[in-house]
Structures are given as structure tokens and as C-alpha cells.
Chain A
Amino acid sequence: MSEKLLMKGNEALGEAALQAGCQLYFAYPITPQSELPEYLSRRMPELGRVFLQAESEIAAINMVYGAAGAGARVMTSSSSPGISLKQEGLSYIAAAQLPCVIVNMSRGGPGLGSIQPAQSDYLQATKGGGHGDYHLIVLAPASAQEIVDLTILAFDLADQYRTPVMIMGDGLLGQMMEPVLFPDRTNVELPEKPWATTGRKGDRPKNIIHSLELQSERLEAHNQKLQEKYADIAATQKRSDEYLTEDADVVLVAFGTVARICRSAIDMAREKGIKAGLFRPISLWPFPDEALARLAEKERVFLSVEMNCGQMVDDIKLAVDCRRPVHFFGRVGGIVPSPEEVLAEIEKIMAGRCDA
């Protein structure tokens, strides 16, 4: 596809997954990500690939477990409550070191919450969610085009590290329409997967996919191996973006949809003579702490803006090593903050700073 199309974030994600070579997709519908299964249910049969609406989210993630074990590029998607249901499966997949992509177009919580956008699954995504010492790589796009780019990257990272990768969006990102361009993906070579259960035909030792290690020493060794992998990912896969941070007195920290709102607020603040800037984590795990720490070398304040009750604040505080003040502004319940109210918060902080 060389021409630009106008696509919803959910649709763009589906097409990007197909371009990345996703062979199988298993999921159960939930608002506000249902355009994604809707899109794939049309396109995958056209391409001779597998689209399957499972009987539940739990079934879907275990189908992903099986398909990933067999070495296929595979994806599932859901929204907040459905992602909660998948947590046990995610822990198993991480333990068995299998590559796959999980999409969370999150909505207002806790519980059934609402169908409006939210970012209140940040802690669940970045600090575990399931049991045991494991991590997901978590990528947070902020536009339809970035959804395309990060989805393709997600499949590549999953294979490279044999680990589940989550795309963390929100309902608004999934529903809004923007122009997108798909990269030329012809002749892409996928990595060999000698560990996959593809049928051994007598020419290699058995491959067994499992997460059970009854012997303590072996389980400890396995954990150490996982930790080494996570350290490697943390050393090489931190991603972030900055906007007007160079001279900024106040640096807003926001990801996904909210980062776009903050950009508008920053432009408005600059027009009023307030030097504001934006730090946007693109990888939520690993959190881009070094880049943020560099910003903290200069005397300035930080303002975390989120559609939750402050779930990212601790990560920011750790990154800036508590050297600088970290403020928080958030809206929840499915309410998307407006650029005007973010601007009001910036003004409030800057006024307080002058008083001090």
C-alpha cells in the first residue's frame, strides 16, 4: 500500500499487524476496540489467515499461547476488563518465553467502568498484572501512524526477545481517524525459531513449551535467565520523544492521547510566555528514565498529566531521583482533559513557583 488512507486507530493497528506477518488473531469483542476484530475478521480470510472469535478472553490468550509456541506471529486484543482476564495467560507466556503481541485499548475503570478512554491500566501493564517476576515490553503510540509503526516494531521485538509485547492505547486513539501510510514490507525475513513446536520429524531433540519448573534450583536459574533478558531490554529498548524541552521551565510528562493534548497546552502556554515542554514516554516499560533524568539536571519542575489517578508519578519521581518537584494533573472516569485545563494547571504551578 503506497497511498495514504484515512483510518481509525483500531483499523490501522489491524492492518499493521497483517503487514507485520501476523498469521493468527484470537480475541473476544469489547468496546472500544471492537473495530480491530471487525477489521481483521474481513481481511484475514481474504489473506488465508486465521481469525477466531474465542468464547472468552481467557480462551483467547491461551490460544495465543499455543500459536506462539508453534512459532507463528500471533496477536490478541481487548480493553481493560478483558486485559485483566488475560493476566494469567500473559504470565505463562512470559515464563515460557514466547513472542506475541497484546493490544489494550483501555477504557475507564475500575470494574466494568465505562466505555470512554482512560490510561488507568498503566500499573497493570508496566509492573506485572499477572503473577511472578516478569515484564511485558509496553509501547504507547500517540497517533494512528505511530500505531502502525509501533505495531510492526512490537512483532519484531517480540521475536527478538522471545517475550510478549503490549501495545497500550486508549479508546480515543482507537476510535479517531487519521491519515496513515504503511511501510513497504515486501521481502521481510522473519527470524528462525528453532525452539518452536513445529513437529520434529526425527531430526532434532524434542521442543517442549512449558512454564512449570518443579525443581527449585531450575526455577531459580530460569528466573535469572529472564532477569538477564529484561536487563538487556532495559539497556537497549527505551524510547521517548521530546517537544520544546530545551529551554522549558516546566516539563509535562504524558503518553499516548494525553501527550497530544499536552502539546496543544504547551503551544498555548508558550504564546503566554511560559516556557513549557513535553517529555513523552513511548516505551512505558522499559520506562525511559535516563532521558528524563537528563532533563532533571536543569532546575525545572515536572508535571505528569494522565487519564488516571497518578499511576506514572512514581516512575517519574524515580527517574528524576526526587531532585525536582513532580506535580500531577489527571482526569478519570473516561473524561479526556482539555488543553485549556492543562494550561490552567501549568499556570498554577508556575505562579506557585514564582511565589516561592
Chain B
Amino acid sequence: MQFKNRIVIFVGAFGSGKTEIALNYVRVLRKQGKQVAIVDLDIASPYFRSRDVTEKLTTQGIEVIAPPGELALADLPIVVPRTKGAFDDPELYVVVDVGGDDIGATALGRFSDQLRQLPHELLLVVNTCRPFTKDVSGIKTMRLAVEKAAHLKVTGLVSNTNLGSETTPDIVHKGSEIIANAAEQMGIPVVGAGVREDLVLAVGNLGVPIFPITITLLPPWYKSSMFTRDRRTVMAAQAALKDKLQKQ
């Protein structure tokens, strides 16, 4: 999953996986040597936001545009002025992690006049295991609500169906079908599918480019022991994937 447009904006329902996809995408861009900024425009969720990993991203050379200092931890709808400047910088690749639902997309609406003048991708991230985007009609409703709040048009869908730790290839395929259906009915392309990296091989072909996802924001108990229990399987899957990519 790679876009020629310098500005890529991820929108979608609460908990659809926008942040994880955005975090992985900025890392891909950075590895290609590009100058990258991630805008944390999430004014809706108090936890599990891009800004939680600011330090890590900054050391990787990625600029994090988010409320500064203590304000990052406040439940206040703060939009940072630097955002506008970043959009206008022709050398900078800007990835925007927008808050959930139409409520989150409202913050993006503030930049709609500027963004309409700039080539960009506005991608609706969809997880069909989430309660309000389970089916085609739910996805359509979400798209309209987000577009209305953002004053911008969705240019593509990102399939990101998962059931957290209980994701199976079958779940991914079923979700992918529903999303393809919705995309066809709306006349919008599915531009790619986010799949947890250890599941990429097992999932196989989805008919759209697969974007392997490393999960970053986890509760503390998943970060160590409970996670290590199946770390060997995860590592084996990662190694197999690397092998396969090298052969290509």
C-alpha cells in the first residue's frame, strides 16, 4: 500500500484501526528516506493515540504534530497550528490520524478549504468486526457521516477487519468481501488491506494490496509475558514473510 499523493488522511469509525495503520504507514515512508510528519488530529479518544509514541517516532526521524507537553494528556479538542504549515510544505509527506466517527472528522473539516486545493488521499478505514460498520449499510452510513463532518470526499477504503487477538484468516476474508461489496456500491476503490504481520501468509490473496501491520498500542499485559507466549509463532511467521518478500 503506497500512495503517490504526499498527503494521506485516515478516517473511519472509532476503533477501526486508523492509528495503527497510520503509524505503520509513516514508518514505511520514513524507511524510504522521505521526510515524514504524522498529524495526531484525534480530538475524540483519550487513550491509545499516535501521540502516546511520540518519543519513539521522533527518534526514528518522524515529526509528530500533536498538542505539546501536558496538553497531550488533556481531553481538550486541541488542533495544532503547525498542521496547516505541514500541509503546505511540498517536501513533507503528511499522514493524518483523524479521530473516530463524524465527531473525530469534525476536526479535519477545519482544514477542508486548504485540502481541497492540495492533492490528497482520504481513506476510510473499515473493520467489519466493529459494531457500527458490520455490514454494507453501516459502512455507507459511516462514509456519509464522516464526509459531512470533514467537508471532504472519501477517495478510497482500507479493509482492516480484525477481531484483535482472536483474528483468523477466515474473519479477514469475510470482512474483505463485505468491504469490497460496499466499495462497489459506492463507486470507491478499496486501496489496500491492513493485516497483522504474523497473519499475512495465512491470509494469502485478498484481491487488493496487503499492508502488513505491526501493532504498537497495546495494554501493558500484552506487551510482555502473555504476548511472549506466542512470540515464537509470531517470530516464525515474520521470518517466513521476510523470506517470501526477499524471493520476490
For A11, the chain B residues whose CB sits under 8 A away are 131
Interface string of B99-138 (1 = CB under 8 A from A): 0000100000000000000000000000101111010000
Interface string of B153-165 (1 = CB under 8 A from A): 0000000001111
Asked if A115 meets B221 with Cβ closer than 8 Å, knowing A35-B14, A171-B46, A263-B226, the reply is no
B225 → chain A, closest Cβ, in Å? 4
Do A4 and B224 touch (CB < 8 A)?
A: no
Q: Is A114 an interface residue (CB 8 A)?
A: yes
Residues 18-45 (chain A) with a chain B CB within 8 angstroms? 31-32, 35, 38-39, 42
- How many angstroms between the C-alpha atoms of A172 and B48 in the bound complex? 9
Interface string of B75-86 (1 = CB under 8 A from A): 100000000000
- How many angstroms between the C-alpha atoms of A172 and B223 in the bound complex? 15
Do B127 and A6 touch (CB < 8 A)?
A: yes
Interface SS of chain B: helix, strand, loop or mixed? loop
Do B224 and A264 touch (CB < 8 A)?
A: yes
Residues 176-229 (chain A) with a chain B CB within 8 angstroms? 176-179
Do B165 and A179 touch (CB < 8 A)?
A: yes
- How many angstroms between the C-alpha atoms of A268 and B134 in the bound complex? 38
For A4, the chain B residues whose CB sits under 8 A away are 129, 163, 166
For B103, the chain A residues whose CB sits under 8 A away are 38
Asked if A5 meets B229 with Cβ closer than 8 Å, knowing A176-B219, A268-B224, the reply is no
For B127, the chain A residues whose CB sits under 8 A away are 6
Q: Which of A39, A42, A264, A336 contacts B225 (CB 8 A)?
A: A264
- How many angstroms between the C-alpha atoms of A38 and B101 in the bound complex? 11
Asked if A15 meets B220 with Cβ closer than 8 Å, knowing A116-B73, A172-B47, A179-B163, the reply is no
A/B pair count, beta carbons within 8 Å: 91
For A337, the chain B residues whose CB sits under 8 A away are 220
Do A260 and B163 touch (CB < 8 A)?
A: no
Asked if A6 meets B162 with Cβ closer than 8 Å, knowing A42-B132, A175-B45, the reply is yes
Q: Is B74 an interface residue (CB 8 A)?
A: yes
Do A5 and B129 touch (CB < 8 A)?
A: yes
Q: Is B189 an interface residue (CB 8 A)?
A: no
Q: Is A248 an interface residue (CB 8 A)?
A: no
Q: Is B61 an interface residue (CB 8 A)?
A: no
Q: Is A261 an interface residue (CB 8 A)?
A: yes
- How many angstroms between the C-alpha atoms of A115 and B70 in the bound complex? 12
Asked if A8 meets B15 with Cβ closer than 8 Å, knowing A175-B47, A339-B220, the reply is yes
- How many angstroms between the C-alpha atoms of A350 and B128 in the bound complex? 48
Do A8 and B14 touch (CB < 8 A)?
A: yes
Do A32 and B47 touch (CB < 8 A)?
A: yes
Asked if A171 meets B47 with Cβ closer than 8 Å, knowing A6-B129, A6-B162, A263-B226, the reply is yes
Do B73 and A115 touch (CB < 8 A)?
A: yes
For A35, the chain B residues whose CB sits under 8 A away are 14
Q: Is A241 an interface residue (CB 8 A)?
A: no
B146 → chain A, closest Cβ, in Å? 15
Residues 124-147 (chain A) with a chain B CB within 8 angstroms? none
Residues 188-227 (chain B) with a chain A CB within 8 angstroms? 219-221, 223-226
For A15, the chain B residues whose CB sits under 8 A away are 131
A87 → chain B, closest Cβ, in Å? 23
B170 → chain A, closest Cβ, in Å? 12
Do A177 and B164 touch (CB < 8 A)?
A: yes
Asked if A6 meets B163 with Cβ closer than 8 Å, knowing A115-B75, A116-B73, A172-B219, the reply is yes
- How many angstroms between the C-alpha atoms of A178 and B167 in the bound complex? 11
Do B221 and A260 touch (CB < 8 A)?
A: yes
Q: Is A56 an interface residue (CB 8 A)?
A: no
Closest 5 CB pairs of A and B: A264-B225, A31-B75, A267-B225, A175-B47, A6-B129
6 contacts between A and B (CB under 8 A): A6-B164, A115-B73, A171-B46, A177-B15, A257-B219, A336-B220
A31-B46, A339-B224 known; 11 other A-B pairs, CB under 8 Å? A4-B166, A5-B130, A5-B134, A7-B15, A114-B73, A115-B46, A172-B219, A176-B219, A257-B219, A263-B225, A264-B226
